[in-house]
């Protein structure tokens, strides 16, 4: 026969927590409803007729306006913060582009100087190359003449 395991006593801790008074519960409910309506307004892509009707039919229109104004101020602060952040990044990028432009101009000048120096130093090389081509042509002509003369000699 199996022994019966004793049951744990129920957790009464949640019952002893402080209970809010009715007015604070009502205010929390109104705030939750206002938050829901504001979220619906923010996220809606379609007509807002039913949401606006619920706002105007509600008993706490002035409190809704206050919460909506708070939400708008929060969004304005967030937009301003983002703009300031991105504006500073924009300024930093412009400064970096100006530096890159200066570096590119310096590099272009260096490349032009190297090109000029290379062309100047290649002039003697090109002259010697042309002389070498002439000498090779003369050498080829001499070899052809020697071969022709060898053919003309008796005994060949």
Residue 15 confidence class, pLDDT cut points 50, 70, 90: very low
DSSP type of residue 11: -
Given a cut of 80, is residue 70 above it in pLDDT?
Answer: yes
Give the single-character DSSP code of 3: P
Distance CA 110, CA 115 (A): 9
Give tens-digit pLDDT for 19-49. Answer: 557 777 777 777 777 777 777 776 777 776 7
Given a cut of 50, whether residue 63 has pLDDT beyond it is yes
Cβ neighbour number for residue 151 with a 10 Å cutoff: 8
How many CB atoms sit inside 10 A of residue 36's CB?
Answer: 12
Alpha-carbon gap, residue 140 to 29, rounded angstroms: 109
* Tens digit of each residue's pLDDT (9 = 90 or more) over 96-148: 999 999 999 999 999 999 999 999 999 999 999 999 999 999 999 999 999 99
Average pLDDT for residues 1-24, to the nearest whole number?
Answer: 55
């Amino acid at each position: 026969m199996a022994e019966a395991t004793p049951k744990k006593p129920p957790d009464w801790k949640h019952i002893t927590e402080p209970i809010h008074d009715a007015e604070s519960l009502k205010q929390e409910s109104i705030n939750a409803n206002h938050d829901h309506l504001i979220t619906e307004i923010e996220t809606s892509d379609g007509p807002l007729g039913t949401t606006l009707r619920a706002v105007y039919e509600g008993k706490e229109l002035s409190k809704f306006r206050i919460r909506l104004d708070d939400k708008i101020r929060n969004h304005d602060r967030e937009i301003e913060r983002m703009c300031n952040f991105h504006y500073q990044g924009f300024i930093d990028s412009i400064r970096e582009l100006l530096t890159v432009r200066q570096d590119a101009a310096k590099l272009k000048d260096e490349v032009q100087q190297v090109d000029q120096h290379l062309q100047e130093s290649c002039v003697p090389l090109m002259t010697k190359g042309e002389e070498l081509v002439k000498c090779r042509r003369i050498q080829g002509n001499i070899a052809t003449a020697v071969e022709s003369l060898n053919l003309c000699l008796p005994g060949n």
